[in-house]
Structure 1
Amino acid sequence: MFRLSTATSERLVRCLLQVLIAGVIAQTFGCASSSTATDTTPVALEGVRPNGVAVDASDGAVYLTDDAKSSVLRSSDGRTFAPYASIPQPPGPGISLSQLTFDDARNLLAVRFGFGSASAVFDVKGANGAIMLSGPNPARRRLGIAAIGSQQALSTWFVKEGSAPATGGVSLLTYDAAAGRATERDLITGMGKPVGVVVSGDTVFVSDQARNVIVRASLANWLQSAQPVTVADTFAKIENPDLMAGDGQGALYTHCKSASLCKVAPDGSVNEIATDFHDARGVAVDPARHRLYVVDRAAAGGTSYLRILPLN
């Protein structure tokens, strides 16, 4: 029988241990890299007029609203987009689709701005198109939407008459997606131009573009109030906020200044984290894949982009 010397055996054991340790380290760092790495190259959206964006938390698919063709686009990887559903468009007002959101039953809701006469909320059915939910007031110019359950969502809106300042609020939409109808109840009024809305636990955040603030309030208090409330606490002062997204940890992301994106920390402090946008619009967070998607909408005739930022 072949026998190794003691010294040779020890050297062999040390070599095997080194190989095993090196393999474990490589595997560990390889897994960490694959789970957090993000390609931050902006995605050119040729021929697309994007606005709202949403991420399906179940599979990471990304959805965009497109004003060029009144449609919703979908991408399985956040980079290559294809038509997903058409949104019916009435004659007269221009196309202006806004925010998207998934509810707990995985219904995809999309908002049409409406220009004061044709706003609407749609249940998007993919290849089967989109169903407009009857009931919401079409005269309200709608922008933000946030689901708060399987059949309820918050909708931001404002009205504007002539040269008078805009006035708006947030309403509760209770809907039946299968039947294609909804009821609308005002929760807060007396705002200027509410745009983005984020729900985090019991806290609701709303960006008021006319007043350059983000306000916050208790959702439970809103729902329990017999009448719409008119006051909400100022959470942060921010220049030109727009549609918003939350990371689930208390931080918010929204357009700010003239061409930037800002992060609003849980204490209300505001930090500029990205610049040089044409016009930052919709924002969506994918915490599972450590990504922040931001719509960068160019002027008519220009190329818009979807920018992907690492989520810290």
Structure 2
Amino acid sequence: MTRRVNFALLALAAGCVPELATESESETATTEAATDPGTATTGDAPTTGEPAQCETFAQYRIDVQAEPNGLHYRADEQRLYIADDDNNRVLVRDEDGTIAVFAEIANPSNDPGSDGLGDLDFAADGTLFVPRFGFGMPGLGAIFQVAPGGAPEAIAGVNDEWRRVGLDYDDARGLLWVSTYSRDADDVYTGWIAGVDPVAGVETMLLGGLSKPVGIAVLGDTLFVGDQAQRQVFKVDLTAATPALTLVSDEFESLDLMETTPDGALLVLSYDTANSAGHVYRVTAEGAITTVAQGDWEPRGIAFDGVSRIFVSARDTQQIVVMPAC
């Protein structure tokens, strides 16, 4: 999700863990923050006016009547896109709470629990990308693209037995970076980072050495990936003659999807199984870790509006938790 952002870089404060509130108590204030004329946009469109400022608020939840996984907030539209894992749909939610179906993804098994959708990302031209997980079953693994005003189309050249959850589109290179893995009969995971050219329909391995990669994000010439099974976050220099994994941190349990921030850091999801607590951490490229938020939810997907709000999919609740970025 390469973004060109023209607002002041915001600092995500450590330890900002407000109490949970209802949507009605908080959404008016956050909508005002999102509609500030300095809000970031996707693509190269300039912003006008003073930069928007981060405003704190109490955590609250949005009911979406779906099983949310991947999320993506388009600041240029002020809309939240949601991968519905139960019904193989991409939903879109406006700031007034209206939810509509943006795209219906093919469901060849006729059992969404066996197909499933993962992360969401947009190219600068407005094309949406989403992976269909497939659980390693022949014919089910796929990556779909949805051009503006078009119907979902499976990208050619993608192995239909590989498992994929995280992806991020690199506008500078015209490639999708995808966290990819397989699982054998003995439950041994083998993972790698794949590059997918959606135009040529070619999928290639960038590098291996992973177990179960899930979250992935590109920021300039640096690619970040989180290995759920190994509790590790790595970075990769995409300009290197021979790209290699460099360890950023190995301190996270049950990593999931991730998001970048304008100042070159990551928002990383983690779940503490012993205490049934979800966490959002801020991780710098140098490995400094601070806590942004935590709560009684198991996180899956994450999105950031570029100003004040972080959105996190809460597993098995049909809800999205909204929390302050400051």
- Provide the TM-score with structure 1 as the length reference: 0.78
Please identify the structure whose Cα radius of gyration is greater.
1
Q: Where does residue 141 of structure 1 map in the other structure?
A: 163
1:278 aligns with 2:301: no
1:51 aligns with 2:69: yes
Q: CA deviation at 1:136?
A: 0.8
Question: Which of residues 93, 104, 113 in structure 2 aligns to 1:86?
Answer: 104
Q: Mark the CA change 1:78 to 1:171 in structure 2 (over 3 Å): closer, same or farther.
A: farther
Q: Where does residue 153 of structure 2 map in the other structure?
A: 131
Residue correspondence of structure 1 range 218-297 to structure 2 within 5 A: 218-221=237-240, 224-225=241-242, 231-237=244-250, 238-256=252-270, 257-258=272-273, 259-266=277-284, 267-287=286-306, 289-297=307-315
**Kept in 2: contact 1:84–1:127 (CA 8 A):** no
Q: Mark the CA change 1:201 to 1:107 in structure 2 (over 3 Å): closer, same or farther.
A: same
Q: Mark the CA change 1:36 to 1:278 in structure 2 (over 3 Å): closer, same or farther.
A: closer
2:60 partner SS: coil
| Range moving further from structure 2, 238-247 or 74-83 | 74-83
How many residue pairs end up in the alignment?
Answer: 266
Q: CA deviation at 1:252?
A: 1.4
2:239 partner SS: helix
Question: Which of residues 122, 131, 136 in structure 1 aligns to 2:144?
Answer: 122
1:162 partner SS: coil
Q: Give 2:304's aligned amino acid.
A: V
CA RMSD of aligned residues (A): 2.4
Structure 1's consecutive aligned runs of 4 or more residues displaced over 6 angstroms after TM superposition are 31-34
**Kept in 2: contact 1:87–1:129 (CA 8 A):** no
1:65 aligns with 2:83: yes
Rounded Cα–Cα distance in structure 2 between residues aligned with 1:127 and 1:307: 29
Gap regions ≥5 residues in structure 1: 1-30
- CA displacement 1:173-204 (0-9 Å, x = unmatched): 1112xxxx621111011200000011111111
**Kept in 2: contact 1:51–1:66 (CA 8 A):** yes
Question: Which of residues 86, 96, 101 in structure 1 aligns to 2:121?
Answer: 101
Q: CA deviation at 1:153?
A: 1.0
Gap regions ≥5 residues in structure 2: 1-48
1:97 partner SS: coil
1:308 partner SS: strand
Q: Where does residue 177 of structure 2 map in the other structure?
A: 154
Q: Where does residue 190 of structure 2 map in the other structure?
A: 167
Q: Give 1:165's aligned amino acid.
A: V
Considering Cα pairs closer than 8 Å and 6+ residues apart, tell me whether 1 or 2 has the greater RCO.
2
Rounded Cα–Cα distance in structure 2 between residues aligned with 1:90 and 1:133: 16
Rounded Cα–Cα distance in structure 1 between residues aligned with 2:263 and 2:96: 23
Q: CA deviation at 1:66?
A: 0.5
Rounded Cα–Cα distance in structure 1 between residues aligned with 2:262 and 2:96: 20
2:136 partner SS: coil
**Kept in 1: contact 2:234–2:245 (CA 8 A):** yes
**Kept in 1: contact 2:109–2:115 (CA 8 A):** no
Q: CA deviation at 1:91?
A: 1.9
**Kept in 1: contact 2:126–2:147 (CA 8 A):** no
Rounded Cα–Cα distance in structure 1 between residues aligned with 2:106 and 2:98: 24
Q: Where does residue 207 of structure 2 map in the other structure?
A: 188
Q: CA deviation at 1:297?
A: 1.7
Q: CA deviation at 1:128?
A: 4.3
| Range moving further from structure 2, 140-149 or 80-89 | 80-89
Q: Give 1:60's aligned amino acid.
A: Q
**Kept in 2: contact 1:253–1:261 (CA 8 A):** no
1:115 partner SS: helix
2:134 partner SS: coil
**Kept in 1: contact 2:224–2:233 (CA 8 A):** yes
Identical-pair percentage: 26
Q: Give 2:117's aligned amino acid.
A: L
Q: Mark the CA change 1:253 to 1:78 in structure 2 (over 3 Å): closer, same or farther.
A: farther
Rounded Cα–Cα distance in structure 2 between residues aligned with 1:68 and 1:262: 24
Q: Mark the CA change 1:127 to 1:103 in structure 2 (over 3 Å): closer, same or farther.
A: closer
**Kept in 2: contact 1:206–1:216 (CA 8 A):** yes
Q: CA deviation at 1:38?
A: 6.4
